[in-house]
Amino acid sequence: MSSAFLGMPPFPQAARRALADTQQRRNLAGATRTIRHKRAEVVGELPDWEELREAGRALKERTLRHLDHYLVQLEERVTAAGGQVHWARDAAEANRIVTRLVQETGEREVVKVKSMTTQETGLNRALETAGITAYETDLAELIVQLGDDLPSHILVPAIHRNRAEIRELFRRTMPDAEGVGDDPAELAEAARRYLRQKFLRAKVGISGANFLVAETGTAVVVESEGNGRMCLTLPETLISVVGIEKVVPTWQDLEVYLQLLPRSSTGERMNPYTSTWTGTQDGDGPRGFHLVLLDGGRTDTLADRIGRQTLNCIRCSACLNVCPVYERTGGHAYGSVYPGPIGAVLNPQLRGTGTETDRSLPFASTLCGACYEVCPVKIDIPEVLVHLRARVVEETGGRRHTPTPEAVAMRAARWVFSSPARLSAAQRLAALGSRVVARRGRIARLPGPLAGWTDARDAPAPAGEPFRQWWERTHR
């Protein structure tokens, strides 16, 4: 449990290291291919997919532009339904609140259902310091936790481990698992046995939430294994840690997201289990419900008019699965629980650009646009990347954090981007429709001073050139 992303090398070094790990690349390439195909199939089934995406985007825009209103409404409804709402300005405050709530129950063990937000805050370590043991119950999270490893994918955090590696891990760390084989069904059964008594005895559960409905105070958890239901239902106390951007206005709005999320995420028409609850219910489930609302850099993201759309993200991971850079470098290179294209735009905004890693992330992309094409809430990730690149170059002011030619190009870009008139002229000249960069892997030459920038860094891999060669040619 001592693993952390803190102090990780910046993206280019970490990526180069990962590129050398052929086993990981093979695991990842196979996994992302499978999931891409499944997604395409179930998305293709819905003739109204584009309308759903647009509604998903617009609802988030409505929410974010009136976030204060919806947060206050949410708090009021959760409280009226018997829950308690806590506010945390940053990760440390969230961890302190949760630790105190657990201590108040007198318990020393908690069961956890996969939650990106508590990974982001490093909750498990904070609990450990306070003498509280947190059991991750999602199979992939369990694999990561037992291996003292780091998650590398939003949906399948142990995507970088194959069955043989997992078998070895289980044999080593689980009591009574010496004889377990490497068939996934057998491994899942071992995990079931290992966790069953923990679920049945648990007094405190910790979760995140995929959505919070302001109108009703309802929380929603979308999952597959039933570990979520266990954590949400059996304990006496439930603590949910959720980012403030997870609010949606009304119950009806879930009709959009409950269609967008499973199809984009696991490539299923619907995930096995979705639980919704509103406060507490007599005779059914926990008697105490605490909702911890986390800012943790989200208001900074909200303040950036281009970056704001990043908060639309419903953490489906579709953008990871289509990203040529992610597929080859893996998730760890991003130095965060949020890897891939979304990580490249979210981390520098949530954490700021104070570290070399966060400064390098906006450059961890070929701007091919595939992430935007699949994003169920239409986040224009390339647009945000370009915006953040400009910011990094501006902040570092020519110090050698980024290659010098690029800094020059970015200053030119800033000149263009800083004026709407110049920008639209550049866009018209580039004949790229509404976007500065072209989709589908081809980047057109931008006019004038921007030409150097498109030539230098963002040229796509010529057809047939292996990524590694391309990477080394363009990134060394």
Partner 1 sequence: MSTARDEILARVRAALADVPESERPADVPVKRAYATGGDQPGSAPETVALFTERLADYGATVRTVSSGRAATEVARTLASRGASRLVVPRWFPPAWSAQLAAAGMRSDEPPLSVDELDAVDAVVTTAALAIAETGTLVLDGGPGQGRRAVTLVPDFHLCVLRADQVVASVPQALSRLDPLRPLTFVSGPSATSDIELERVAGVHGPRTLEVLVVR
Q: How far is the CB of 424 from partner 1 (least distance, A)?
A: 19
**Part in contact with partner 1 (CB under 8 A); list of ranges 138-146, 333-341, 386-394, 424-432:** 138-146
Residue 379 touches ligand SF4, criterion: CB under 6 A: yes
CA 111 to chain centre: 21
User: Regarding beta strands 218-223 and 237-243, do their DSSP bridges make them parallel or antiparallel, or are they unpaired?
Assistant: unpaired
- 233-292: contacts with ligand SF4 (CB under 6 A): 264
Nearer to partner 1, 158 or 206 (CB): 158
Q: Which of 136, 138, 327, 406 binds partner 1 (CB under 8 A)?
A: 138
B/e letters for 347-383, b = 16+ CB within 10 Å, e = fewer, are: bbbbbebebbbbbbbbbbbbbbbbbbebbbbbbbbbb
Three-state DSSP state, 227:
helix
Residue 123 touches ligand SF4, criterion: CB under 6 A: no
Three-state DSSP state, 291:
strand
Tokens of 433: 């429709």
**Part in contact with ligand SF4 (CB under 6 A); list of ranges 18-26, 238-246, 375-383, 443-451:** 375-383
- 399-428: contacts with partner 1 (CB under 8 A): none
C-alpha distance from residue 16 to each of 157, 265, 345, 406 (Å): 21, 28, 20, 20
Residue 137 touches partner 1, criterion: CB under 8 A: yes
Residue 207 touches partner 1, criterion: CB under 8 A: no
Q: How far is the CB of 134 from partner 1 (least distance, A)?
A: 17
Q: How far is the CB of 439 from partner 1 (least distance, A)?
A: 23
Q: How far is the CB of 234 from partner 1 (least distance, A)?
A: 6
Q: Which of 4, 20, 29, 34 binds partner 1 (CB under 8 A)?
A: 34
Nearer to partner 1, 346 or 367 (CB): 346
Tokens of 387: 């915006």
CA–CA separation, 181 vs 59, rounded Å? 47
Residues 326, 340: contact at Cβ < 8 Å? yes
Three-state DSSP state, 360:
helix
**Part in contact with ligand SF4 (CB under 6 A); list of ranges 16-24, 136-144, 208-216, 371-379:** 371-379
Residues 349, 297: contact at Cβ < 8 Å? yes
- 184-243: contacts with ligand SF4 (CB under 6 A): none
CA–CA separation, 395 vs 252, rounded Å? 43
Residue 210 touches partner 1, criterion: CB under 8 A: no
Nearer to ligand SF4, 262 or 286 (CB): 262
**Part in contact with ligand SF4 (CB under 6 A); list of ranges 6-14, 128-136, 172-180, 376-384:** 376-384
Q: Which of 15, 150, 254, 368 binds partner 1 (CB under 8 A)?
A: 254
CA atoms within 13 A of residue 13's CA, in its CB half-sphere: 9
- 341-370: contacts with ligand SF4 (CB under 6 A): 342
**Part in contact with partner 1 (CB under 8 A); list of ranges 128-136, 243-251, 361-369, 432-440:** 243-251
Tokens of 337: 């629980």
One character per residue 164-183, x = contact with partner 1 (rule: CB under 8 A): --x-----------------
Residues 366, 460: contact at Cβ < 8 Å? yes
CA–CA separation, 387 vs 435, rounded Å? 13
Residues 6 or more apart whose CB falls under 8 angstroms from that of 444 comprise: 430, 431, 432, 437, 438, 454
Q: How far is the CB of 390 from partner 1 (least distance, A)?
A: 19
One character per residue 311-340, x = contact with ligand SF4 (rule: CB under 6 A): --xxxxxxx---------------------
Binding footprint of ligand SF4 on the chain (CB under 6 A)? 264, 313-319, 342, 374-377, 379
